[in-house]
Homo-oligomer: A and B are copies of this chain.
């Protein structure tokens, strides 16, 4: 039994970016040299989400439509008013979708189907030099 933790950083560009990070997470599992166990993937920012999606342009569009219903970009937010930072929708999307997911690892591989990618979504409207995703792999 062992544990392996790693901080990944991604340059996401100017906000509202959803990236497929499956390959990067599988690489962390490989580096950990753990064959059976699990990997937790956690966003280190409260304007980001971690979940799974079939990563293709149609689903990305449809996810944005659904999140616009829950927390529209251009709605009024008490949070944005307070700080004048226009990221109120990003905080709410992050809280509802969630900042972390844990994936089972068997035979050294993430237990995902071919149409299921791990996505890292950044809904902050500003540009940032890097965003943190933390991983912990536990197993043997």
Most chain B beta carbons < 10 A, residue from A52, A58, A80, A98:
A52
A: number of interface residues (CB 8 Å)? 66
Q: Identify the closest chain B residue to A40 (Cβ).
A: B102
Contact, CB under 8 Å: B91 / A54: yes
Write out the residue numbers on chain B whose beta carbons fall within 8 Å of the beta carbon of A78: 57-59, 61-62
Query: Interface on A for B, CB 8 Å cutoff?
Result: 1-3, 5, 7, 36-38, 40, 42, 44-46, 51-54, 56-59, 61-63, 66-67, 69-71, 77-83, 88, 91-92, 94-106, 111-113, 115-117, 119, 132, 134-136, 138-140
Q: List 7 A-B contacts (CB under 8 A).
A: A45-B113, A52-B98, A58-B82, A63-B95, A66-B96, A104-B134, A111-B134
